[in-house]
Amino acid sequence: MLPSDGMPTALIPVFIPAEALKHRIAELAKEIRGDVPNDDLHFVCVLKGGVLFLADLIREMEGTVTMDFMALSSYGSGTTSSGEVRLVKDLDYGLEGRNVIIVEDIVDTGLTLHYLQEILRARNPRSLRTACLLSKPSRRKIDVSVDYIGFTIEDRFVVGYGLDYSEQYRNLPYIGALQ
Ligand code: IMP
């Protein structure tokens, strides 16, 4: 059972503590930079869930970094995916010739990411890689490649650190589990 609106954030059990997020994100930043050592990196962040992850990831990066934002809708206000993905806000800049890193909060069924990778690949980036803070492999409906994964988790509904339930709880500094 998920809590109704307005559950006090202090009551949400910690699933991944803030210190573990910080440590892992620093490792991911090193890994990403290590794969593209001498070139610019262009981060494409998926709103809104990826924002906190992006903010911490780029602060751990060395070298030239640019960013852009995109919004997709795949979930309604509940916790089950409709499977339908829609582009709600497009990027401000083109991707031609850039080393693009997609930054997503979580890959669940994989439908959103698959859609996103298809449309971005068609814009001719020099390279296209994907970083997801969380992955729930047991929920996959489509085979999608994710180059950098922060944490692989079981099938739990998680919130915090950018992730929401009905637009709430994005501000938690840790990942909490609602079920
Ligand atoms: P997918 O298309 O099923 O992979 O869903 C991806 C999107 O669903 C993510 O970007 C999230 O916005 C949302 N989502 C999936 N699982 C969770 C969760 O456990 N908590 C919050 N949002 C989730």
Tens of pLDDT, residue by residue over 74-86, are: 655 455 555 678 8
Alpha helices in 44-153 (DSSP H): 51-59, 111-121
CA of 75 to the centre of ligand 1 (A): 7
The model carries a pTM of: 0.93
Residue 119: the pLDDT is 95
Ligand 1, atom 15: nearest CA belongs to which residue?
A: 108
For the beta carbon of residue 48, count every other beta carbon within 10 angstroms: 15
User: Please, are residues 152 and 171 in contact by the beta-carbon 8 Å criterion?
Assistant: no
Average pLDDT, the chain: 92
Overall average pLDDT of the 1-24 stretch: 83
Q: Tell me which fold the domain 17-73+83-177 belongs to.
A: Rossmann fold (3.40.50)
Q: What percent of the chain has pLDDT over 90?
A: 85
Active site residue 5: no
Overall average pLDDT of the 157-168 stretch: 96
Q: What residues line ligand 1, using a CB cutoff of 6 Å?
A: 49, 74-75, 81, 104-113, 157-159, 163
**85 CA: nearest ligand 1 atom:** 2
Q: Where in the chain are the domains?
A: 17-73+83-177
Q: Which of 66, 158, 82 is nearest to 115 (CA)?
A: 82
Residue 111, C-beta contacts closer than 8 angstroms, at least 6 positions apart: 74, 81, 83, 85, 141, 142
Tens of pLDDT, residue by residue over 120-144, are: 999 999 999 999 999 999 999 999 9
Ligand 1, atom 20: nearest CA belongs to which residue?
A: 158
Tens of pLDDT, residue by residue over 42-74, are: 999 999 999 999 999 999 999 999 999 999 986
**From 35, 108, 155, 164, the catalytic residue:** 108
Q: Which of residues 76 and 107 earns the better pLDDT score?
A: 107
